Each structure stands twice: as structure tokens, then as C-alpha cells.
């Protein structure tokens, strides 16, 4: 589709995938699920609907070279933020680039780099609906995921009035609720009319720039300062100059909470944010005992384990474990505690063990 | 003590200690418990009571060089059986060597290579009693371990009449029962008057040779054939020649079951046969959560685990596991299933994976 630009936000670390994920090989560089790095899968998925030259990645300086290696995009489409300033400046940067490239009415799609989504046909169908709605309604459109359980780790979107004439179920957004407690989450599920926020946004460049102008004038003004350098020799220097002054604030908090008009399109695709090692076995092949093995394993009386190793791993009488070996470190984790792998990284940081970070 | 020869039987593999134990590094070569290899600990323990020149090891050709490396004994004291023929020929070999060295009345002690025993003073006290009793009574004397639980993996010795005038409780042996079922074992413990058989035997050389002559004439005759070559140039060739013809039979079955006179001395020392990885944590230092770590480990919400690794191991939310890394293989095993580690070795054998055996 022309006049549509897709931006992938790819600056995360994914410390819950230690020891595979490291500073220089963050989660999106790894084929955690599937055969290629998550970032490559994301780019190829987006290229099904967007033109390849219109797919961009916003990452950071450290990850830029590794990103370029892993994706089939022109180098110029991989942009490095000079400083991490949370998501609002990043979305603003996407909007201003889109505006300069093809005007206020260009539709911008914002996507996480490291989610697992199938099938691509349904993804395209949902995205097309979101793009059309963003174009038609001058609103910010999100994609909502049908909740499968009362998760407390996601934001929830409450549906308002149905938007008529849409091929995919679409609603006005009544309210956003960030990571609710378990009772609230249960109530949402029982009552119905809620989606998970998957962190995907669609809007006309002019619409979000206008929201920034009203709600976050500091970000807006810095983007205006940068605007004239886009595509010029001083682009990188100017970006550095304005980013240093950028407030660090999330797009949800800075814009979404008080945005003039917000819609949600209900995803028709399968979605997994691959939040921890526990996600792997949901998508990979398993043996008859539910063991999911990448590498060589010898299994005695063991079930429902996930193993990822270049060397031989023997499991004897164990259940529900994740075992990951990277040559320099080994993780043995209960599947019910995969979230806490990030605590290992915290300890390594405290102990300044750079070689394992 | 003079006129007493100690023989260590050190031909086992200890497949339950895979991946640490391999063909060339069997269990007794490893510091599974304590700071030195179990075979070194055994030699040093025996040298407390026996003269160093009177301590012998009977091993096999493959393990002989590694044994010599690990013990402070003269090379001539490390004897290699050319073929594995179970324990009866091995005990016979010890007896005939002792007879040639210092006559029929020499007391021979037979010891496993890979048990963990403390303190050495109590061990000496028990051994002294066994040696004195073997000398005085012309019987075969065993050492009995007070059973701590109804184990089904050991042989049980039923006590008969008390032997008077002993510094350590000693009895005539009423009956041997090999590995009983759990109900029988429970009855033994409830009734009292039983010991575990620790595989240690004491006897005058002449007494056992006489038993062999009566009960196992084939073994006896082959030993007589070998006798004249002991200490001669053709010793190794002759040993090979007679061993090829040796029946393969255990000492318990070949001799003990029908021996003329058998006594048992109740051990005053602490004993552990270090039967599997689960034994390690019984003797090594632990952190406040019961984790026993050799190497570098990062521990998050995990307790009662045993880790042995040269590289960093992170445990997250796991309990009661043994994790062993050897650079080429990793074992993750439930402590309740450590016996089954030998099944991993069986699988490796079937798959002819020599590099891991």
C-alpha cells in the first residue's frame, strides 16, 4: 500500500531471554520462536502489506549494526536514536519523517519488533482495517488482542461504540487500563468488551503531530527543530542535538490517555508477545511427552521441558523446566518462574559481570 | 600394622555420576565428595592403619594409569586385572599375593575404592577389630553398617551370637540377604539385629584360599597356576593366561553364602557409599537455602539444589535438582531420580556415542 509507512520500534533488550539475550544480541535478534530472528520475521511480515522502502526500524546505536545485518532493508531505513527517551519521542520521530516524506495525510503504523504473529494474511487484513480507519477517522487506531486469560502484565482497552462499515470488528476506545491487578483483570474478562493492548498504533502523521503540539509541546518543538535536517548532511548531528533535550515519556502516557479520538481494531491473527522462555513451547514442535528440544537431548522420565543447547543435555526425572546453554552460561528455570530470569540479569549488573551481560 | 595387607577393589565405572564419570575418569577418580579423588581418600585412609607398602589396588588396564597418577603408592602396588571376572577371582588374587608375600596367616582386608568414610580414627578402630577377629577366629569378617532407613539397594547381614571380648560390637553372622524388597527391609529395621553389608572383608589368606579350594576349585587351581609367577618376569603374561579361564562370579555368591565361619563387626564410623549425585549434598557445605554449589551459580528463588559446573549456572525458581556441566554435556536431574542417571549412559552406549562415554 502506498502512502503508508511502517515503523518498527526495536530498542529493547529482552533480559528475560538471558543467557541467549545479551546487550549485543537482544531478544529481537534471536530466533526465539521460528527459524529466523524475530526482527527479520517482523520486517518480512510488514513487507507483505507495506512497500519495502516504506518499512523503517528505529533502534539504538549499539543495536544498529546487528539490526542491519539481520534485515533486508536499505541501511537508510534503519534509524538509530542517539539516546533512549522512551516511546513518545520515538513515535514523534516516525511521524515527522513520514510528514517530510509524503505529507500530513501519510498513515504511519507503529509495531513492536519482537512479537510472534501468524498467519500473515490475517495480520494484513487487520492492519489494512486499522490503516483505513486511521485515514478515514483522523483518530489514533490501536490493534486489540482478544484476552485468553486474566493476564496482569498487559494494558487493557475497553471497547465503546462499534464503528460501522468495517471488515474487521472496530470500536471507539472507552478507556485504557494499564496492567490491572488480578481481580480487575478477571472482572474485565467476565464482563467482556476488553482487548489487550498489543503496542501497535496507526495514525496520520499530521494527527499525531497535532496531538504532540497540544499535549507535548516540548517534544513537538524539538521535532520541528529537527525537521529541516531530515535527508540532509547534518541529520545525525541534529538528531543527537534535539534528542539530548527530549523528555523521556511513554506514548501511552504522553498522548494516548488524552488523545482526541482513539479506535481499536480487534485482531483476527494469532498473537504472542514472546514474553519469556515459557512462550517457546507454545509455538515449537514437541515430543510425545511435551518436551520441546532445540539441540541434542537425552530424555529419561521427563516431561514438558524446553531445552535449547548446542551441547548434549540429559534430563532425568524433571518436569516443566527451561534449560538453556550458551557455552558460557547455563539457565535452569521453572516454566512458572520465567519472568524472574530478568532478576539474574539484575544480579549480573550489580556484580558488574560485563562478560555475561 | 604388620602382617596385614589392604586391597582396594577399584574397577568400577560409576555410571550414575555421568557426565563427570566417564570410562577414563570413573567415579573413584573424582572428588565427588571431599577435596581429592575418592580413590586417593581411600588409600590415605587405609595407610593410617596399614603400612603404605602393604596397601594394594586391583584395577583394570584402562584405569591403571589414571589410578597410579592419583595415589601415593608404588607402581607395583597397583595391579591390573586383564579381564573383568567379578569379585571372587579378584579376592582370590589378593589372597594368593598375600600368601606368597607373607604366608597363610597374613590378614587381608578388602575395600571398595569409592566410599566416603569419616572419621579415620573410628574407621581404624573398626578395622583393627575386624583384623583381630579374622586372626583369632579363622573366619571371614565383614563390616556392618547400622541401617538408617529401609534401603533396598544394599545387602543385609543378620546378627547371630555376640562375640565376647571385642572392643567393637561383633557378632557371628546368621544370614545374608541380598537387596530385599521394601517390606522385608522395613521388617529388618523394625526387628533390629541387622547391618548393611559395606563390601569390606577381612580374612587370613589361608582361610579364603581354603574356602576357594572347597567351594570354587576352578578358581583355586588357576590361582595355584599363577602363584609361581608372582614377582617374576612372566607375572603379567601368566595373569592374563589364567584370568582368561577364570569363571566370572561374585565373592558373596561364590564364597560368603556357604563359608564355614563368618563374623560381622559393627562400624563405629560414618559411612556413605556415594551411590549417586544425591549423596553429594549430604557432605558438602550448603547455603542458607540448602543449595550446594561447586563453581559459580546465580540463585533466584531456588532451594535444595546441587550444582557442579565450571561455567556460570543460573537457577530460577527450581528445587531439588542436580545440575552438572562438564563442558561437553549437561545433566539436569531430580534428586529423587539420581539412580536413573545410569539410564542416560545406557542410551549413549546404544547410540554408540563414544565421545560422551
B298 contacts on A by Cβ (under 8 Å): 344, 347-348
Question: Cβ A329–B315 below 8 Å, yes or no?
Answer: no
pLDDT digits (tens, 9 = 90+) for B101-158: 999 999 999 999 999 999 999 999 999 999 999 999 999 999 999 999 999 999 999 9
What are the backbone dihedrals phi and psi of residue B228, each rounded to the nearest 5 degrees, phi first?
-70, -15
Q: What's the pLDDT score for residue A233? A: 94
Check CB contact of A343 with chain B, cutoff 8 Å: yes
Measuring CA to CA, how many Å separate A163 from each of A141, A172, A303? 12, 7, 47
Q: What's the pLDDT score for residue A328? A: 94
B300 contacts on A by Cβ (under 8 Å): 337, 340, 343-344, 347
Question: Cβ A340–B316 below 8 Å, yes or no?
Answer: yes
Q: What's the pLDDT score for residue A27? A: 94
A304 contacts on B by Cβ (under 8 Å): none
pLDDT digits (tens, 9 = 90+) for A43-76: 999 999 999 999 999 999 999 999 999 999 999 9
Q: Searching chain B, which residue's CA lies closest to the CA of residue A298?
A: B344
Q: Residue B333 is placed in which grid cell?
A: 536431574
Question: Cβ A298–B332 below 8 Å, yes or no?
Answer: no
Q: What's the pLDDT score for residue B145? A: 98
Share of residues in chain B with pLDDT > 90 (%): 93
Q: What letter does residue A303 receive in the DSSP assignment?
A: B
Question: Cβ B316–A341 below 8 Å, yes or no?
Answer: yes
Q: Searching chain B, which residue's CA lies closest to the CA of residue A333?
A: B316
| CA A160-A163-A165 angle, 5° bins | 160
Q: What's the pLDDT score for residue B109? A: 98
Does B225 score more than 90 pLDDT?
yes
CB interface of B with A, residues 150-179, below 8 Å = none
Secondary structure class of B186 (helix, strand, coil): helix
Q: What letter does residue A22 receive in the DSSP assignment?
A: -
B119: number of Cβ within 10 Å: 12
Secondary structure class of A198 (helix, strand, coil): strand
Question: Cβ A314–B336 below 8 Å, yes or no?
Answer: no
Q: Which helix (H) or strand (E) holds B310?
A: none
Q: What's the pLDDT score for residue A12? A: 78
Measuring CA to CA, how many Å separate A356 from each of A21, A65, A270, B70, B339? 10, 20, 34, 35, 34
pLDDT digits (tens, 9 = 90+) for B4-26: 999 999 987 778 999 999 988 99
| Interface confidence (ipTM) of the complex | 0.88
Across the interface, of B311, B318, B323, the residue whose CB is closest to A328 is B311
B309 contacts on A by Cβ (under 8 Å): 330
Question: Cβ A333–B315 below 8 Å, yes or no?
Answer: yes
pLDDT digits (tens, 9 = 90+) for B343-355: 999 999 999 999 9
Does B234 score more than 90 pLDDT?
yes
A314 contacts on B by Cβ (under 8 Å): 18-19, 329-333, 341, 344
Choice between A9 and B257, residue whose per-residue pLDDT is larger? A9
Pairing of strands B312-316, B297-300: parallel
User: What distance in Å separates the CA atoms of residue B13 and residue B29, rounded to the nearest whole number?
Assistant: 10
pLDDT digits (tens, 9 = 90+) for A116-133: 999 999 999 999 999 999
pLDDT band at A314 (very low <50, low <70, confident <90, very high): very high
Q: What's the pLDDT score for residue B14? A: 78
Across the interface, of A315, A328, A347, the residue whose CB is closest to B298 is A347
User: What distance in Å separates the CA atoms of residue A325 and residue A311, rounded to the nearest whole number?
Assistant: 8
Question: Cβ A356–B329 below 8 Å, yes or no?
Answer: no
| CA A113-A115-A120 angle, 5° bins | 100
Q: Residue B353 is placed in which grid cell?
A: 556415542
* Preceding omega of A19 cis (within 30 degrees of 0): yes
Give me the DSSP letters along A52-105: GGGEEEEEETTTHHHHHHHS-S-GGGEEEESS---HHHHHHHHHHHHHHHH-TT
Q: What's the pLDDT score for residue A281? A: 87
pLDDT digits (tens, 9 = 90+) for A321-335: 999 999 999 999 999
The rounded Cα A56 to chain-centroid distance in angstroms is 14
A321 contacts on B by Cβ (under 8 Å): 318, 332
The rounded Cα B26 to chain-centroid distance in angstroms is 13
A146: number of Cβ within 10 Å: 12
Distance, in angstroms, between B27 CA and closest chain A CA?
Answer: 18
Q: What's the pLDDT score for residue B13? A: 76
Nearest Cα to B38, choosing from B229, B272, B227, B322?
A: B272
pLDDT band at B333 (very low <50, low <70, confident <90, very high): very high
B311 contacts on A by Cβ (under 8 Å): 327-330
Q: What's the pLDDT score for residue B281? A: 87
Q: Searching chain A, which residue's CA lies closest to the CA of residue B351?
A: A298
pLDDT band at A13 (very low <50, low <70, confident <90, very high): confident
Q: What's the pLDDT score for residue B1? A: 72
Q: CB pairs under 8 A, 24+ apart, for A297-304?
A: A298/B344, A298/B347, A298/B348, A300/B337, A300/B340, A300/B343, A300/B344, A300/B347, A301/B337, A301/B340, A304/A335
pLDDT band at A24 (very low <50, low <70, confident <90, very high): confident
Query: Please, are residues A349 and B310 in contact by the beta-carbon 8 Å criterion?
Result: no
Share of residues in chain B with pLDDT > 70 (%): 100
* Residue where the block lists cell 513515535: A91
pLDDT band at B235 (very low <50, low <70, confident <90, very high): very high
A19 contacts on B by Cβ (under 8 Å): 314
pLDDT digits (tens, 9 = 90+) for B42-52: 999 999 999 99
Nearest Cα to A341, choosing from B302, B304, B311?
A: B302
Pairing of strands B170-177, B156-162: antiparallel
CB interface of B with A, residues 99-118, below 8 Å = none
Q: What is the mean predicted confidence (pLDDT) over B158-178?
A: 95
Q: What is the mean predicted confidence (pLDDT) over B213-218?
A: 97
CB interface of B with A, residues 182-211, below 8 Å = none
Does B337 score more than 80 pLDDT?
yes
Q: What's the pLDDT score for residue A2? A: 74
Distance, in angstroms, between A290 CA and closest chain B CA?
Answer: 17
Q: Residue B287 is placed in which grid cell?
A: 547455603
Check CB contact of B336 with chain A, cutoff 8 Å: yes
> Whole-number mean pLDDT of chain A?
95
User: What distance in Å separates the CA atoms of residue B330 and residue B328, rounded to the nearest whole number?
Assistant: 7
Amino acid at each position: 500500500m502506498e502512502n503508508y509507512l511502517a515503523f518498527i520500534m526495536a530498542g529493547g533488550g529482552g533480559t528475560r531471554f538471558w543467557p541467549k539475550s545479551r546487550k549485543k544480541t537482544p531478544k529481537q535478534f534471536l530466533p526465539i520462536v521460528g527459524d529466523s530472528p524475530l526482527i527479520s520475521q517482523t520486517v518480512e511480515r510488514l513487507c507483505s502489506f507495506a512497500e519495502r522502502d516504506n518499512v523503517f526500524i528505529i533502534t539504538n546505536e549499539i543495536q544498529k549494526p546487528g539490526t542491519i545485518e539481520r534485515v533486508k532493508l536499505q541501511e537508510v531505513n534503519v534509524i538509530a536514536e542517539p539516546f533512549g527517551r522512551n516511546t513518545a519521542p520515538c513515535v514523534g520521530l516516525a511521524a515527522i519523517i513520514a510528514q517530510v516524506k509524503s505529507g500530513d495525510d501519510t498513515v504511519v503504523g507503529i509495531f513492536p519488533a519482537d512479537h510472534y504473529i501468524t498467519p500473515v494474511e490475517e495480520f494484513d487484513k487487520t492492519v489494512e482495517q486499522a490503516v483505513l480507519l486511521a485515514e478515514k477517522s483522523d483518530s489514533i487506531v490501536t490493534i486489540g488482542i482478544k484476552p485468553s486469560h486474566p493476564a496482569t502484565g498487559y494494558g487493557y482497552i475497553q471497547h465503546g461504540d462499534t464503528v460501522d462499515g468495517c471488515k474487521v470488528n472496530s470500536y471507539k476506545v472507552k478507556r485504557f487500563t494499564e496492567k490491572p491487578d488480578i481481580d480487575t483483570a478477571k472482572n474485565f474478562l467476565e464482563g467482556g468488551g476488553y482487548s489487550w493492548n498489543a503496542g501497535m498504533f496507526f495514525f496520520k502523521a499530521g494527527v499525531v503531530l497535532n496531538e504532540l503540539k497540544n499535549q507535548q509541546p516540548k517534544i513537538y518543538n524539538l521535532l520541528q527543530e529537527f525537521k529541516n535536517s531530515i535527508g540532509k548532511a547534518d541529520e545525525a548531528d541534529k538528531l543527537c542535538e534535539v534528542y539530548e533535550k527530549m523528555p523521556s515519556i511513554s506514548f501511552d502516557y504522553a498522548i494516548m490517555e488524552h488523545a482526541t479520538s482513539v479506535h481499536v481494531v480487534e485482531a483476527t491473527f494469532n498473537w504472542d508477545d514472546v514474553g519469556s522462555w515459557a512462550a517457546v513451547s507454545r509455538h515449537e514442535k514437541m515430543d510425545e511427552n511435551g518436551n520441546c528440544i532445540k539441540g541434542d537431548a537425552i530424555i529419561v522420565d521427563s516431561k514438558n521441558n524446553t531445552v535449547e543447547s548446542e551441547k548434549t543435555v540429559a534430563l532425568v526425572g524433571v518436569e516443566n523446566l527451561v534449560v538453556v546453554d550458551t557455552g558460557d552460561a547455563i539457565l535452569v528455570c521453572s516454566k512458572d518462574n520465567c519472568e524472574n530470569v530478568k532478576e539474574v540479569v539484575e544480579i549480573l549488573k550489580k556484580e558488574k559481570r560485563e562478560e555475561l551481560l
